[in-house]
Amino acid sequence: MPSPRSVAAASAVDQDGVVAEDLIDVDDPRVADVRELLGRHLAHMKSQSPPENVFALDVSGLLDPAVTMYSYRRDGRLLAIGALKHLAEADGELKSMHTAAAARGAGIGRAMLAHLLAVARDRGYRRVSLETGSMAGFEPARALYASAGFTECAAFADYPPAPHSVFMSLALA
């Protein structure tokens, strides 16, 4: 259940006082820079998790009609990706959240998360869930999600319970 095109714009001022335009918008996972960042995301997931516990979506998974993928761009340069998957009438799942290494720590992941949650609310979802890793390399992601109100939950959808996975959920008001 893809949402209509959704856009969030902001401005950022760099260290030289130059104002940059930030844009979060629906994007195509087949676009070259998105494929490149997605490749880095998948490589990172595979380096942190056993193969049977890598649930990150590749390009074909992001093309599923139930998935809407977004990009975060600053002056056209891709800094992050994230996706929202429709699970059921009132349930969605966060997928493929990844911020480019050079852009981490600047609030871009938090902005993408806020955008995806706003889209979920607009769609009428009552709950958004996610799966992430339990290893130390996933601690920053778990901390981001917890700071947004996500709490640990049982495995959901088609995920098997696994020691390398942490499942989290957020009830939307």
The full DSSP string for 24-44 is EEE--TTSHHHHHHHHHHHHH
Indicate if the pLDDT at residue 8 is higher than 60: no
**Phi-psi domain of 54 (left: phi exceeds 0; alpha: psi -120 through 50; beta: other):** beta
Q: How many CB atoms lie within 10 A of CB 160?
A: 8
Q: How confident is the model at residue 1 (pLDDT cuts 50, 70, 90)?
A: very low
Q: Give the three-class secondary structure for 150.
A: coil
Single out the residue of 135, 136, 126 nearest to residue 169, CA to CA. 126
Single out the residue of 140, 59, 155 nearest to residue 105, CA to CA. 140
Q: How many CB atoms lie within 10 A of CB 65?
A: 8
- The terminus-to-terminus CA distance of the chain in angstroms comes to 20
User: Regarding beta strands 77-88 and 91-99, do their DSSP bridges make them parallel or antiparallel, or are they unpaired?
Assistant: antiparallel
Indicate if the pLDDT at residue 23 is higher than 90: yes
Mean pLDDT of 21-33: 95
Q: Give the three-class secondary structure for 130.
A: strand
Indicate if the pLDDT at residue 6 is higher than 60: no
Rg (CA), the chain: 15
Domains of the chain by start residue, with CATH = 8-171 (3.40.630.30)
DSSP 45: H
Q: How many CB atoms lie within 10 A of CB 15?
A: 5
Indicate if the pLDDT at residue 163 is higher than 80: yes
pLDDT in tens, 50-88: 777 788 888 999 999 999 999 999 999 999 999 999 999
Single out the residue of 131, 103, 132, 97 nearest to residue 115, CA to CA. 97
pLDDT in tens, 134-147: 999 899 999 999 99
Mean pLDDT of 28-54: 85
Q: Give the three-class secondary structure for 123.
A: helix
Q: What is the pLDDT of residue 70?
A: 98
| Residue listed under structure tokens 């193969």 | 51
Q: What is the pLDDT of residue 11?
A: 57
